Chains A and B, each alone.
Chain A
Amino acid sequence: MPTLKRLAKTKSFWILLGLVILLCLFYSEAKKDRREVAKLTSGEVELCITCHQEVVPEKVHDKKVVGCSSCHLGNPYTLDLKEAHKNIVKNPGDLRYVNLTCGQPGCHPTEISKVKNSLMATNHGMIKRVVEVFEEKEVLSLYPKLSVSQLYQSEVYHKTRNSLGLDYYRKLCGSCHLWLEKGKLPYFLKEKGGGCTACHLVKEEDEGLNSSRKTHPKLVRYPPMENCVRCHNRSGRIGFTYQGLYENEQGGVGDEVWVDGRWLDRVSPDIHFQKGLNCVDCHTKEEVMGDGNFYYSLHEALEIECQTCHGGDGTTKKGRKLKNFQKKGTKAYLEIKGSKKLLLIKKPVRVCSLSYHKRLTCVSCHAKHMPDCYGCHIKYDPRETHLDKILAKETKGLWIEHESYRRLALPTLAVEDNQRVVTVTPG
């Protein structure tokens, strides 16, 4: 003990002791697990990105900013595979749980409530029309605002199960609405529906089989025309006519084939398509995604007219200003939303304002052609089965569509409100 006391009094002893302690500390630090806890730019913990290396193509939804769980739910605070993937959703845009994903506070809450009331989500105009044609007034008196989301409810299903009109809708029209679960139906129908992603999701080009980089599907602010035409290609065939396609009844050499097997001929496209305009360059957000009001038909929801831009100041008939309409001096321009390119808008010529043309709408003279199909009739075979697009299963009763002939001709004219001459087409 006296030697220890003596040693403690020496300087070198204390230096040596210090070095030993430092060495021990270094060793223990080096042995520690040095992996960083995955965090977002906001500082929130998001352990999903520890394993998921997929690259999100658009900056606004960057993985470091919103993470994975903000959209796909699940548990971001655990690395346990099962626990982390509990209650996970593949498609955040699905309207069934969109309030927790895209529509959560801080993201797009106002848009979601409007979209749910839009015609693309309610399909009320289509349902009402079909039920009226089948002269089933009792369905509409029971459910005056019948929308497609109600058709998913078992109570509504049982109360309306004898309605042939609704059976027709479910089997022939029920795949074109936002409540459809993406990927639930077979064949080309699996691409349809999905709520927000029905329009805003685009497929990223495959980088090749050798690429190890996994890409996340891309979300875009302005939906490309292809996404609109995925649904808007029947009845008036506007999606086809706009881009210069005519659905031929029997097909021929050189014809294109649509995903569902229909034959398409190339004809001259709409001038706006030729100039590079997309559907959303003219149709406003409120028209397409709804303005919060419940509409009974498409015509009530639409608000743009030719004269909104041609001769107008970019104000729609509901008083909303087009965001991509610009006036520079006496000239007016429309900006293409995707490419930001400015297009000069032509003013109406003198002949348009002549007194004897005052009842004519622009399209009654300027629409080059419109597809017309005549003699349409449907056959119902109760012995066979048909895919019910709402239930996603085959049920009794097969609907078969027939038509007598089709033609591409100058549009048929009719009178609207006893004042305006407009174009009409069957469908």
Chain B
Amino acid sequence: MVKGKNSIEVVNLEKPFLKSPRVCLSQMVTLNGTKLVNFPQPNLRPFCQEELVKILRVGFCLNCHSEKDKIFKKWPPKRVCPYAKELKSNF
């Protein structure tokens, strides 16, 4: 495990093969949305920064709420978790 940017822990299986601990061999995109790999199909892309923020923000909720918690089903799409505001500013 290495401490990544924004204090998000990244499992780094590739450590012995890499010079930089910030990039993994399996990584397709950086946290700021920069694409690291080419796809064979032109219509494919990795998640963009906005999508990554949304996905990772759920991880913030999972510290307290189980993944089957009702709040995930009822959550209005545009509502921002008050606890995640600080995390959002980091991105």
Residue of B whose beta carbon sits closest to that of A354 = B73
A9 to B91, CA, bound (A): 133
Any chain B CB within 8 A of the CB of A355?
yes
Contact A415 B17 (CB under 8 A): no
Contact residues in A for B17 (Cβ distance below 8 Å): 375, 404-405
**CB of B8 closer than 8 Å to a CB of A:** no
Residue of A nearest to B77 (CB): A356
Q: How far is the CA of A405 from the CA of B13 in the complex (A)?
A: 9
Q: How many of A's residues come within 8 Å of B, CB to CB? A: 21
A418 to B43, CA, bound (A): 8
Contacting residues, chain A, for B47 (C-beta < 8 A): 413-415
A415, B46: Cβ atoms closer than 8 Å:
yes
Chain B residues, CB < 8 A from A356? 75, 77
* Alpha-carbon distance between A375 and B44 when the two chains are bound, in angstroms: 21
Q: Which B residues lie within 8 Å of A405 (CB)?
A: 13-14, 17, 25
Q: Is the CB of B25 within 8 A of A355?
A: no
In the bound complex, residues from chain B placing their C-beta under 8 Å from that of A375 are 14, 17, 25
In the complex, whether A297 has a CB less than 8 A from a CB of chain B is yes
> Whole-angstrom distance from the CB of A375 to the nearest CB of chain B?
5
A213 interface residue (CB < 8 Å to B): no
In the complex, which residues of chain B have a beta carbon less than 8 angstroms from the beta carbon of A413? 47
Q: Is A424 an interface residue (CB 8 A)?
A: yes
- CA distance in complex: A374, B18 (Å): 12
- With beta carbons under 8 angstroms apart, the residue of A372, A374, A407, A415 that contacts B45 is A415
| Apart from A412-B26, A415-B48, 16 more pairs, CB < 8 Å | A297-B40, A299-B41, A374-B26, A404-B14, A404-B17, A404-B25, A412-B28, A413-B47, A414-B28, A414-B39, A414-B45, A414-B46, A415-B51, A416-B41, A416-B43, A424-B44
List 30 A-B pairs, Cβ < 8 Å. A129-B40, A297-B40, A299-B41, A355-B77, A356-B77, A372-B26, A374-B25, A374-B26, A375-B14, A375-B17, A375-B25, A404-B14, A404-B25, A405-B13, A405-B14, A405-B25, A407-B13, A413-B47, A414-B39, A414-B44, A414-B46, A414-B47, A415-B44, A415-B51, A416-B41, A416-B44, A417-B43, A418-B43, A418-B45, A424-B44
Where the two chains meet, the residues of A that have a C-beta atom closer than 8 Å to any C-beta of B are 129, 297, 299, 354-356, 372, 374-375, 404-405, 407, 412-418, 422, 424
> Which B residues are within 8 Å of any A CB, using their own CB?
13-14, 17, 25-26, 28, 39-41, 43-48, 51, 73, 75, 77
